[in-house]
Structure 1
Amino acid sequence: MTRLRSDIFVAALVRRVFGQGGFAAIEHRGMEEAGAIFVRQRFRDGRETLYGPAPQSLVDEEGAASRRFEIRLAAAEPDEVAALIARERKWDPDLWLVEIEVDELGDLLPLV
């Protein structure tokens, strides 16, 4: 079983966010086929939570073909999130960065 391409996953995520009444934007486009995906969730109080790809060691065999995420920073200041994203982009310039504005993440991202 193959994993869904990054560009298709991101397009579906953006659509789902808008479908639930939220806002989504692609801040940085990565490699279409297999770029790592980071999601920056912005809250009304100005704080942000950053989700990134979960390490493969945290993904069971059943979830190996799907994308799983983990929280990298929770309810952090925007500067902290921006600094972490900058470090990640230095290491992996082909990553995707998606910004979402929703109060509750719900089932938008599968978390480990």
Structure 2
Amino acid sequence: MRVTSDFWCSAYIRRCHGAGLYALVRRKGEATAGAIFIVVDRLDRQALLLGPGPQGGTADNERVFTVILGPAPEAEIEERLARELRFDPDIWVLAVEDAAGRHLLDLV
């Protein structure tokens, strides 16, 4: 059984803080099953946008992520997020700041 989006986001932010990364919730989405997007700000006006990866690909039903865009200028990331919000207003948007672009997630 997959954990709810709000629980996953809270745990992820705590994990980031524990690793010395600054992370926060930019936008709360639907608490139980909202899609989660993560903006990784590299502090050089470039960012990565991570979003939901293919579902069902893991045996334990973990959330998986993929790079949707980036590294790209922050304006391009914001434009893409605006499109995602128009498509699905229930998304979560988290932000992580790290000059090395660390996000602590395994990507597919």
In the alignment, which residue of structure 2 is the partner of 1:85? 81
In the alignment, which residue of structure 2 is the partner of 1:60? 57
In the alignment, which residue of structure 2 is the partner of 1:70? 66
Identity %: 36
C-alpha separation between the residues in 2 aligned to 1:104 and 1:48? 8
Q: Mark the runs of 5 or more structure 1 residues left unpaired by the alignment.
A: none
C-alpha separation between the residues in 2 aligned to 1:111 and 1:48? 16
C-alpha separation between the residues in 2 aligned to 1:109 and 1:67? 10
Q: Provide the aligned C-alpha RMSD in A.
A: 1.4
TM-score, normalised by the number of residues in structure 1:
0.88
User: Displacement, 1:34?
Assistant: 0.5
How many residue pairs get matched? Answer: 107
Q: Mark the runs of 5 or more structure 2 residues left unpaired by the alignment.
A: none
Higher helix share: 1
The one-letter amino acid of 1:80's match is E
In the alignment, which residue of structure 2 is the partner of 1:35? 34
Residue 94 (str. 1) matches residue 80 (str. 2): no
Instruction: Pick the aligned partner of 2:102 from 80, 100, 105.
Output: 105
